[in-house]
Amino acid sequence: MSRIGKLPVVIPEKVEVKITWNTVEVKGEKGTLSFDFSKTVAVNVEDGNVIVTKLDDAGKALWGTTRAVIANMVEWVSNGYKKSLEINGVGYKFEVQGKKLILSIGYSHKVEMEVPSDLSAAMDEKAKNVLHISGIDKQRVGQFASKIKAKKKPEPYKGKGIKYLGEHVRRKAGKTGAK
């Protein structure tokens, strides 16, 4: 049985939760998110809490998941979500110009990417080689960060490329390490 599904989701003061049919809409300071839940679970708002209950045996599978998704939505519309990327290599750099991200990653030309309207990209104040992608939807933030990383994945010999902040890239010894 789900232990997560039993817990109520506490709604902060500046967050509004509205339930219509099988859709939960969460509105907060940062924006609005919606989620279509299964008919095998029921979602109710009681005393400043969102309570998810299972309606039948088929609802057991989605009970905890539905509660976790709603809890994450409440968190994201109040605080947002952020992913950080780090670039390594001589001459490799990020540049943010309005809603355009320009990557200098060792090609003969600069790679330009359009930042989606619901996301924001900002350089770190202290480290020149760190880029922060933020928004209210974890999937959209992660997907855009993944697209940026795919432009130049870190290579195992010198470690040059784009990686997530804190990600460990396994290094190889190269030709001289084989002897």
Q: How many CB atoms lie within 10 A of CB 116?
A: 17
Q: Report if pTM > 0.85.
A: no
Q: Are strands 32-36 and 111-114 parallel, antiparallel or unpaired?
A: unpaired
**Beta-carbon-side half-sphere exposure of residue 129 (alpha carbons within 13 Å):** 15
Please report where in the chains the tokens 């990686």 appear, as a residue. 163
Per the CB < 8 A criterion, the answer to whether 38 and 66 are in contact is yes
pLDDT at 174: 79
Which regions of the chain are under pLDDT 70? 1-2, 177-179
Q: What is the pLDDT of residue 1?
A: 55
Please state, in angstroms and rounded to a whole number, the distance separating the CA atoms of residues 85 and 93.
11
pLDDT of residue 141: 93
Q: Which amino acid makes up residue 21?
A: W
Question: Would you state the pLDDT for residue 111?
Answer: 92
Cβ within 8 Å of residue 158, ≥6 positions away: 89
**DSSP state, residue 94:** E
Helix ranges (DSSP H) in 40-162 = 60-79, 138-151
Domains and CATH numbers, the chain: 9-79 (3.90.930.12), 81-164 (3.90.930.12)
